[in-house]
Amino acid sequence: MPGDSDSGESDFKARARLREKLLIKSFSLLSKSWLQSERDQCVLNRQLVRIVSESYFKDLDRKKKFHGIRYADSHKRAGYMVKWIMRFRPVQMMTEEAKARVLLVNEHFALTVAFKFLNIPPASVPPPLYKNLVYALRFRVLDANAWALSFFLLQSIYGLPPQPHAE
Amino acid sequence: MDTVAPTDLPETTETLLNWKLSNSDVQFSEEDFLNGFEAHAEEANALFDAAFAEGL
């Protein structure tokens, strides 16, 4: 029915806009404690953030529909979000003399968001492991489901137990 | 040639078609996500610094 389709589209847009705002806020908080010189070297491109957000929902909704899933698990959310952040690289460099954090800013941003989805405190992750994760995002083939599996394992090891939800 | 009617397929076929390992009953909450994000971000930045202390 046309009404259902319109309703679905409207719901999709609403969810995508909320996630877009969340990504913008998250990046703002992530870069808040950086040196001013680091903040000046990159900018979050809002056009790309919108594409990331909408692509994430289109992609994940397709999987949820196929498997009859109501809500995606946190490791799937993390895997699919990382995939689309890395595909479109919404943080853009403004310099040709970037510091390491800026050169790898999209990987760092993607993993920080993923760890929050997974309820993994970054302080619990060994630095050499983190370096490997950044390296894999930078140089290896991206597959959302493979990352979801990796995140499932990381969550099993480093994730905090879920908090009980109030009714 | 012998054929097998779809209705004769074992129940496991249907089970496999509908197989899913997990199905979260928790809806994502933007509020929960952003709650404590600033401290989370500071930890993430410290982790990056520790990981790349000796360079790339």
pLDDT in tens, A72-113: 999 999 999 999 999 999 999 999 999 899 999 999 999 999
* Model-wide pTM > 0.95: no
- Counting DSSP H helices and E strands in chain A, the numbers are 8, 2
Interface touch A68/B18, C-beta < 8 Å: yes
Q: Is the pLDDT of residue B44 over 60?
A: yes
**Is A123 close to B23, i.e. CB distance below 8 A?**
no
Secondary structure of residue A71 in the 3-state scheme: strand
CA distance B40 to chain A (A): 7
Of A29, A72, A128, the CB nearest to B38: A29
Contact A111 B23 (CB under 8 A): no
pLDDT in tens, A119-136: 999 999 999 999 999 999
Distance CA A101, CA A62 (A): 34
8 Å CB contact between A18 and B30:
yes
How many Å lie between the alpha carbon of B7 and the closest alpha carbon of chain A?
22
| pLDDT given for residue A79 in this prediction | 98
Q: What is the mean pLDDT of chain A?
A: 93
Residue with tokens 């983190």: A130
